[in-house]
Amino acid sequence: MTIAFPPQTSSSPPGLQPEGWLRYLSFSLDHKVIGLQYMVAGFFFYLVGGALAGMIRVELVSPISDFISRETYNEVLTLHGTVMIFLWIVPVVNGAFGNYLIPFYVGARDMAFPRLNAVAFWLIPPAGFLLIASYFIAGAAQSGWTAYPPLSLTTPAAGQVVWILSVLLLGGSSIFGGINFIATVLKMRRPGLKLMQLPMYCWAMLGTSILVVLSTPVLAGTLVLLSFDIIAHTGFFNPALGGNAVVYQHLFWFYSHPAVYIMVLPAFGLVSEILPVHARKPLFGYTTMVYSILGIVFLGLIVWAHHMFTSATPPWMRLFFTIATAFIAVPTGIKFFNWLATLWGGKIALNSAMLFSCAFIIHFVFGGITGVALAQVPFDIHVHDTYFVVGHFHYVVYGGTVFVIFGSIYHWFPKFTGRMLNEDLGRFHFLITFIGFNLCFAPQHWLGLNGMPRRVAEYDPQFTLMNQISSVGALLMAVSTLPFLINVFWSAFSGRVAGDNPWNALTPEWLTSSPPPVENWKGEAPLVQHPYGYGVTPGQIDLGAATGREIWSSGQ
């Protein structure tokens, strides 16, 4: 491990890499630049996906299909799902925070493969624009983000093929990122830093990247076969040509169930970083947290068929996948109780980062409970493919992951820019997002239970009121991005100057200037063996200005 500190490339010939803000538009190899590139690009696509969601909710204000044509509606819902998953959540919780934080956490000056890293990012904008352009040029795909054949074989081919191409590019980007994270966490650690001393986010990213590397290639292969079916009229998944449509579903969900953990495990990791800092307590139960991440990774790989309980799956298979799925609640439960214990007895700062993180806990517990219910075959056969499922996964994906992304931005913004975000605007942002979100998605559970299927442009008039409530919630959510955007732009230029470590945090990214220098630390990287060493031991006197136990030392 002598290669851990290559002499910094700052001595490389000047002028090849742009300086200043232009760096963010360049093929930069700096993990911090790449992280922020992911973040900004991801947020752009979040706004696109949000506009699409807005179109859906406007259409559903009335029970008849009157706002956009039915074909357009299906294009919109397909694009919405694809954009939100592959261009917002996955790139941001993995790419943005992963790239920014992981090298700090392992005490390295960059990721293991900086060039691969830049390539991974630069696959995203073209893939995203390709996808969106397909809507304007040939008409986008219409078969949902799941693209089940035979429907995806019979809807207009051009849009579907572009969709496949775009998802393949994004999958490639995700795989490159995953390989990079695994290598960085395992091989780039500062000498003397043990795996079990890493901040929890590293473990989360390790687990996530394992899932990415194991399951994304399966999706890629499946989509290639699907494109053969569309272009070359092969019959892999086409029953009319002797193929089997259910096989596609198995292969698709073999990726796409792990994908939900690819979207949420990093969020678990981020929350594990935020809570101890703002509660001034060590992360409770580090070891069990690590094992539960590994448990989730393992179980996450063997539960995919819970998406297929009504697809003529044999009884034994339904039973197996019910049990495996329900058992994911065990490692997940451990993590939640550990977080609650982290908060218990702390000195909790009720700032925006903390509020978003706590809302995440509430929403995810709710979504987890509906998830365990959905795992029960007899329960699922009624609500599968209804708005109940839409409610479930928005509670975990939006109420969970997206809330964590916002909380993380409030937490790390001072690190990114050297300035604080405005807290009052932040709490206001939290309040309307929280109300809007719950107003939007809670009623959808009732809709599903009572007979509203998902992915429809028209519905039974008895559901009008609930849909309108839901749309009002969506409007609030849309409005809530305004205070956030104002806050970010205003604070970036004239926010309160943060200082290097405004939260008195102990994790390594705070033990350098804000924003950090290109080489992360002037001088040698600190060796942080107790990233959560907060707290006073009973009996110790609280010295007014305590910063927690400073157990890090620079150098060995």
Partner 1 sequence: MALVLTGLWIGQNVELLPVAASLNAPIYDQLFKVLFSIGSILFIGIFGLLLFSLIRFRRRDGETGDGAAVEGNLQLEIFWTAIPAIVVLFVGIYSYDIYDRMGGMVPLSDPHSMHGAAMAPQASDGSAGAVIQASVLGTPPEPSKRIWGGIGSGQISAGPALPVEVTALQFAFLFHYPQGDITSGELHVQKGQPVELRMEARDVIHAFWVPEFRLKQDIIPGQPTLLTFTPIKAGSYPIICAELCGPYHGGMRSTVVVHEPDEFATWFEKNNTATVAIAPSTSSTG
Positions 355 through 374 that interact with Cu ion (CB under 5 A): none
For residues 378 to 417, the per-residue mask of contacts with partner 1, x marking binding by CB under 8 A and - elsewhere, is xx-xx-xxx-------------------------------
Distances in whole angstroms, Cα of residue 166 to Cα of each of 157, 254, 265, 516: 14, 19, 24, 34
Distance in Å, CB of 310 to ligand HEM, minimum: 8
Give the pair of three-digit tokens for residue 428. 């206001």
- Residue number, 338 or 417, with CB nearest to partner 1: 338
Confirm or reject binding of residue 147 to ligand HEM (CB under 6 A).
no
Question: CA 45, CA 131: separation in Å to the nearest integer?
Answer: 11
Question: CA 394, CA 285: separation in Å to the nearest integer?
Answer: 28
The interface region with Cu ion, picked from 30-38, 249-257, 262-270, 518-526 by CB under 5 A, is: 249-257
Estimate to the nearest angstrom the gap between the alpha carbon of 422 and the chain centroid: 24
Positions 232 through 271 that interact with ligand HEM (CB under 6 A): 260, 263-264
Give the pair of three-digit tokens for residue 37. 């590139």
The interface region with Cu ion, picked from 112-120, 251-259, 440-448, 508-516 by CB under 5 A, is: 251-259
List the single partner that 57 binds among partner 1, ligand HEM, Cu ion, none, CB under 5 to 8 Å by kind.
none
List the single partner that 319 binds among ligand HEM, Cu ion, partner 1, none, CB under 5 to 8 Å by kind.
partner 1
- Counting other chains too, the contacts that 547-550 makes at CB distance below 8 Å and 24 or more residues apart are 547/504, 548/280, 548/504, 548/506, 550/506
The DSSP 8-state label assigned to residue 453 in this structure reads B
Distances in whole angstroms, Cα of residue 285 to Cα of each of 338, 342, 396: 6, 9, 23
Positions 309 through 338 that interact with ligand HEM (CB under 6 A): 325, 328-329, 332
- Residue number, 200 or 264, with CB nearest to ligand HEM: 264
Residue 453, φ and ψ in degrees, nearest 5? -75, 165
The interface region with partner 1, picked from 96-104, 173-181, 191-199, 240-248 by CB under 8 A, is: 240-248
Confirm or reject binding of residue 246 to partner 1 (CB under 8 A).
yes
Element (H, E) at 82: helix 70-82
Alpha-helical runs (H) found in 111-156: 114-122, 124-137, 151-154
Q: How many residues bind to ligand HEM according to rule CB under 6 A? A: 24
Distance in Å, CB of 304 to partner 1, minimum: 16
Confirm or reject binding of residue 280 to Cu ion (CB under 5 A).
no
List the single partner that 50 binds among ligand HEM, Cu ion, partner 1, none, CB under 5 to 8 Å by kind.
none
The DSSP 8-state label assigned to residue 509 in this structure reads G
Distance in Å, CB of 281 to partner 1, minimum: 4
Contact, 260 vs 393, CB < 8 A?
Answer: yes
Non-local (6+) Cβ contacts of 29 within 8 A are 9, 17, 110, 114, 115, 117, 118
Question: CA 128, CA 183: separation in Å to the nearest integer?
Answer: 27
Question: CA 341, CA 538: separation in Å to the nearest integer?
Answer: 17
Element (H, E) at 554: strand 553-554
Q: Which of 424, 312, 398, 328 is nearest to 369 (CA)?
A: 328
For residues 157 to 196, the per-residue mask of contacts with partner 1, x marking binding by CB under 8 A and - elsewhere, is ----------------------------------------
Among 31, 109, 250, 257, binds Cu ion (CB under 5 A): 257
For residues 443 to 482, the per-residue mask of contacts with partner 1, x marking binding by CB under 8 A and - elsewhere, is --xx--xxx-xxxxxxxx----------------------
Distance in Å, CB of 95 to ligand HEM, minimum: 16
Distance in Å, CB of 151 to ligand HEM, minimum: 14
Q: Which residues bind Cu ion (CB under 5 A)?
A: 257
Q: Which residues bind ligand HEM (CB under 6 A)?
A: 146, 260, 263-264, 306-307, 325, 328-329, 332, 368, 371-372, 374-375, 380, 384, 389, 392-393, 396-397, 400-401
